[in-house]
């Protein structure tokens, strides 16, 4: 029975009460501090791959990023409406009843705003930096060129 559930569902187990959260009208589970299995087709999804790369590039090795990452993974992989098998509770969920989940009081929107906006700002700053370096190198090349404005070719 267990192997059949794994094949059909995305199993998860979280040692504590799972954290449920809402964002933009949807409900998710944040896979915080627990063990979970995923259906590999979820990871292969192009949108999920893009978002995972974005997360990777925004990592600043802080507790706040780790907290953001738990919520972002929940958004990408544990959305209400899909079926999940909770190994610890031996129960299938497709709805997340509030009484069975801890509702987060974390500043989720602020975390998203900081790390997702921060990534865009990092890209813009990097682009500006590359452009400044290019301009400096270009100016150096122009200054080192030898010009013969009045010369005539013979």
Task: Report the distance separating Cα 16 and Cα 29, nearest Å.
Answer: 12
Which pLDDT band holds residue 17 (cuts at 50, 70, 90)? confident
Taken in order 31, 112, 47, 22, is the CA torsion positive or negative? positive
Task: Tell me the pLDDT tens digit for each residue of 18-37.
Answer: 788 999 899 998 887 666 66
Q: Which of 4-8, 17-21, 134-138, 141-145 has the highest mean pLDDT?
A: 17-21
Task: Tell me the pLDDT tens digit for each residue of 49-64.
Answer: 999 998 998 899 999 9
Pairing of strands 35-36, 84-86: unpaired
| Three-state DSSP state, 46 | helix
Average pLDDT rounded to a whole number, residues 117-146? 61
Task: Report which secondary-structure segment, H or E, holds 102.
Answer: strand 102-103
């Amino acid at each position: 029975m267990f192997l059949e559930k794994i094949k059909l569902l995305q199993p998860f187990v979280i040692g504590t009460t799972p954290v449920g959260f809402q964002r933009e009208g949807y409900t998710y589970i944040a896979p915080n501090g627990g063990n979970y299995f995923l259906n590999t087709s979820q990871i292969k999804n192009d949108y999920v791959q893009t978002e995972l790369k974005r997360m990777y590039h925004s990592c600043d090795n802080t507790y706040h990023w780790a907290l953001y990452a738990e919520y972002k993974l929940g958004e990408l992989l544990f959305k209400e409406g899909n079926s999940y098998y909770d190994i610890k509770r031996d129960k299938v969920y497709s709805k997340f009843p509030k009484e069975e989940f801890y509702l987060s009081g974390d500043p989720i929107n602020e975390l998203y705003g900081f790390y997702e906006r921060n990534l865009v700002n990092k890209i813009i700053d990097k682009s500006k930096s590359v452009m400044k370096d290019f301009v400096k190198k270009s100016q150096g090349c122009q200054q080192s060129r030898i010009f013969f404005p009045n010369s005539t070719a013979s």
